Amino acid sequence: MNLRVLVADDQELVRTGLSMILDAQPGIEVVSQVDNGRDAVEQALRLRPDVCLLDIRMPQLNGIEATRALAGPDVAEPMAVVVITTFDLDEYVHGALRAGARGFLLKDAGPELLAQAIHAAARGDALIAPSITARLLASFAASSPAEPQQPIEPLTGREEQVLLTVASGRTNAEIADELYISLSTVKTHLASLMSKLGVRNRVEIAIWAYETGRVR
């Protein structure tokens, strides 16, 4: 079954290009194209796509507001959102991650990376543009005004290892290979980390690692 994707970007050329790239990928189908954040939210709630690919800067509702409406902390059934932007240090990306986005890409990402991000988001992974992962998360953590929340229980040694690999942008399969554990064991550790840290997804796990100085 194809992954159903909604694409939202206010620039017609970009929107059409992204949709053509995704439609050409095996296992991916673009089910809606919209040019503003309000329509993105309305269409996403109506169609329930597997992944929403949202531009940050859009009229009516920007990408942050649209992400919060679809994947924010008050959403009972959060959707998978990937944000995409032109600027590698766009301050809006920080807000998008806080709003619940599972990852983000730059608009110069190639077809392969774009497809990987869609598949990753659909299965609960997150893919952040590799060239800016560390810089972005470090910047994001430094800008956080509050003290990071401490885990409700101490992390195990293995959980600390998984935490560092997540913060470096590894997928579940890459973590399994690197730590010589099964994919199901990785998922168990991630679920435990989310529970102990009080976070909702792997992007927030990575942010916590930077906020607490585990990664610099």
Q: At 82, which helix (H) or strand (E)? A: strand 80-85
> Which pLDDT belongs to residue 141?
59
Residue 142 has pLDDT above 70, yes or no: no
User: How far apart, in whole angstroms, are the C-alpha atoms of residue 15 and residue 132?
Assistant: 23
One-letter amino acid at 27 equals G
Angle at CA of residue 94, ends 128 and 206, nearest 5°? 50
pTM over cut 0.95: no
pLDDT band at 30 (very low <50, low <70, confident <90, very high): very high
**What CA–CA distances, in Å, run from 146 to 83, 96, 140, 141, 181?**
24, 18, 12, 10, 34
Report residue 180's pLDDT band, with 50, 70 and 90 as the boundaries: very high
What CATH architecture does domain 3-127 belong to? 3-Layer(aba) Sandwich (3.40)
Report the chain's mean pLDDT, rounded to a whole number: 86
Give yes or no for residue 130 having a pLDDT over 70.
no
| Domain boundaries of the chain, sorted by first residue | 3-127, 146-211
Decide: 77 and 85 in contact? Cβ < 8 Å.
no
- Using CA atoms, how far residue 182 sits from 25, 119, 176, 189, 198, in Å, is 28, 20, 6, 11, 24
Select, from the ranges 32-36, 119-123, 152-156, 192-196, the one with the highest average predicted confidence (pLDDT). Answer: 32-36
The fold of 146-211 is Arc Repressor Mutant, subunit A (1.10.10)
Amino acid type, 88: D
- C-alpha 77/C-alpha 152 separation (Å) is 24
Q: Is 30 helix (H, G, I), strand (E, B) or coil?
A: strand
Range with top average pLDDT, 62-66, 140-144, 167-171: 62-66
Condensed to tens digits (0 to 9), the pLDDT of residues 99-122 reads 888 877 888 888 888 888 898 889
